[in-house]
């Protein structure tokens, strides 16, 4: 029960953080972190995925409501939420039987890095392709994906470093 | 039947995923269409209300700049007023027929509570809506020039399609001449828009002022837009000219919404069978 409450709180917190703090950064005019995708990283792995997929979709849609972007955030976060288990299998070699014991922060840093980087780049690429919606400025999309992903990743690893409990 | 149930059992996550993706795609495509963007927009009570609270706090930090801009606008208006007085003085007799209803436009003041400028399709949110008389397809300007067109209203909030939106098209012309074209944005730099389809024989120089043309029912004529900074980059078909906006679109606060009293009449005249 407290776990559900925790993720409910995280859900609202991530929307507010993204909309009122991070969307106003606009570093150099266009580089912007999209930290709300950490919802996909921290949500526990489960066999039954429907609540998780739905929650991710609603998180994206919530951000779309605030940033007038149709459904691009919903589409891109849902894509990585669905592909998450595939990448867990590829990078960590974990199968459904290991899911209850899987904690991302206890995994080796190299594997964790690959996993997070892949999902972040994938998400940002889909997001910026739809936000641009044309092949005209494809270089713009690629540059934006690269720089914004780096920004998001820096923020992610910094926040992990700050908020992780010291052992 | 058994097979079908087994199929759904097996692919239920994938099917659920596809369903949600499909919903998201419909929302994306509707949002790109000016006439269909109804569902997902920031002009609803929850996001509009939150943005309003947020802007109530954040506007304190640039009160000084806003004051300066208002002062500058007042100066311009006073100058125009004095010019009028001067002209009236030299006219022998001026007849003003006060029985005729001559006013064509009215202005409603509003405040921008949410601003986007870094994407290809940008929107703004205003703190007034249907209850204050705002409707779809009304023009939004400020003292320095055009901002955009209202594309969606809720009871207390309105969403504006910024001129920095790749779907925006508005009629613009050279100041002091009647050559007109269409103002668009290519999605690259938020301070530069493009004036296209202007005739090649039009005498354009770098530094010329561009203003609204008044050939649509939305914008009155003569509202400032920007200055020409670059003409005929490549000899393209659309003859695009780069125009630098007077407005800094990343920093806009108070705005005016323009209502056209003659809109219905003009529309009825232009397409009589369209009812």
pLDDT at B100: 54
Residue B152 backbone phi and psi in degrees, to 5? -165, 140
pLDDT at B104: 78
Provide the residue-wise pLDDT of chain B in tens; the chain has 275 residues: 888 888 888 888 889 999 999 999 888 888 877 766 666 777 778 888 888 888 888 888 888 888 888 888 888 888 877 776 655 555 555 555 555 556 678 888 999 998 888 888 889 999 999 999 898 889 999 888 899 999 888 889 999 999 998 888 889 988 878 888 899 998 888 899 988 888 888 888 888 899 888 788 888 888 889 999 987 665 667 778 889 999 888 888 889 999 888 888 888 888 776 55
Query: Do the Cβ atoms of A130 and B28 come within 8 Å?
Result: yes
Confidence of residue A31 (pLDDT cuts 50, 70, 90): confident
By residue count, chain B amounts to: 275
Cα–Cα distance measured from residue A163 to residue A142, given in angstroms and rounded to the nearest whole number: 31
pLDDT at B90: 57
> How close does chain B come to A76, measured CA to CA in Å?
9
> How close does chain A come to B106, measured CA to CA in Å?
28
Cα–Cα distance measured from residue B178 to residue B198, given in angstroms and rounded to the nearest whole number: 10
Number of domains observed in the structure of chain A: 1
Mutual angle of helices B12-31 and B2-10, in 10-degree steps: 70
Dihedral sign, CA of A110, A116, A120, A122? positive
Residue of A nearest to B44 (CA): A65
pLDDT tens digits along B188-218: 888 999 888 888 888 888 888 998 887 888 8
Which residues share a beta bridge with B97?
none
Cα–Cα distance measured from residue B151 to residue B137, given in angstroms and rounded to the nearest whole number: 6
> How close does chain B come to A100, measured CA to CA in Å?
19
Domain of A44, in residue numbers: 2-163
In angstroms, what CA-CA distances link B205 with A103, B198, B200, B209, B243? 65, 13, 12, 9, 11
Contact with chain B for residue A47, Cβ under 8 A: no
Cα–Cα distance measured from residue B162 to residue B165, given in angstroms and rounded to the nearest whole number: 6
Contacting residues of B for A78, CB less than 8 Å apart: 17, 20-21, 24
Query: Do the Cβ atoms of A49 and B40 come within 8 Å?
Result: no
């Amino acid at each position: 029960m407290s776990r559900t409450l925790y993720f409910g709180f995280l859900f609202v917190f991530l929307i507010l953080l993204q909309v009122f703090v991070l969307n106003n950064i606009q570093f150099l005019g266009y580089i912007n972190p999209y930290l709300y995708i950490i919802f996909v990283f921290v949500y526990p792995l489960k066999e039954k995925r429907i609540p998780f997929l739905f929650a991710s979709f609603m998180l994206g849609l919530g951000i779309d409501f605030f940033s007038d972007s149709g459904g691009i955030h919903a589409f891109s976060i849902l894509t990585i939420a669905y592909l998450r288990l595939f990448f867990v299998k590829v990078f960590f070699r974990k199968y459904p039987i290991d899911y209850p014991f899987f904690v991302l922060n206890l995994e080796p840093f190299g594997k964790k890095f690959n996993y997070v980087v892949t999902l972040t780049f994938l998400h940002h690429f889909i997001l910026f392709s739809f936000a641009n919606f044309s092949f005209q400025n494809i270089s713009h999309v690629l540059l934006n994906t690269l720089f914004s992903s780096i920004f998001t990743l820096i923020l992610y690893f910094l926040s992990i470093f700050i908020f992780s409990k010291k052992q | 039947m058994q097979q079908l149930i087994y199929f759904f059992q097996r692919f239920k996550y994938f099917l659920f995923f596809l369903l949600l993706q499909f919903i998201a795609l419909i929302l994306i495509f509707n949002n790109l269409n000016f006439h269909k963007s109804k569902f997902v927009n920031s002009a609803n009570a929850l996001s509009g209300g939150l943005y309003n609270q947020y802007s109530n706090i954040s506007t304190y930090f640039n009160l000084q700049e806003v004051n300066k801009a208002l002062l500058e606008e007042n100066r311009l208006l006073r100058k125009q007023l004095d010019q009028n007085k001067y002209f009236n003085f030299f006219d022998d007799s001026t007849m003003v027929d006060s029985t005729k209803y001559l006013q064509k436009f009215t202005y409603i003041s509003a405040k921008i509570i949410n601003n986007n400028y870094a994407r290809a399709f940008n929107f703004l949110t205003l703190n007034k809506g249907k209850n204050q008389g705002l409707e779809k397809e009304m023009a939004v300007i400020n003292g320095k020039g055009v901002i955009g067109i209202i594309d969606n209203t809720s009871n207390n909030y309105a969403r504006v399609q910024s001129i920095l939106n790749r779907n925006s098209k508005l009629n613009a012309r050279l100041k002091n001449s009647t050559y007109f074209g269409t103002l668009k944005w290519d999605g690259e730099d938020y301070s530069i828009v493009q004036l296209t389809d202007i005739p090649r024989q039009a005498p354009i120089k770098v530094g010329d002022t561009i203003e609204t043309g008044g050939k649509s029912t939305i914008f009155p004529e003569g509202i400032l837009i920007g200055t020409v900074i670059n003409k005929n980059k490549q000899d393209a078909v659309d003859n695009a000219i780069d125009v630098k906006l007077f407005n800094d679109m990343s920093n806009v606060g108070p705005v005016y919404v323009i209502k056209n009293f003659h809109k219905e009449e003009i529309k009825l005249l232009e397409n009589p069978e369209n009812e």
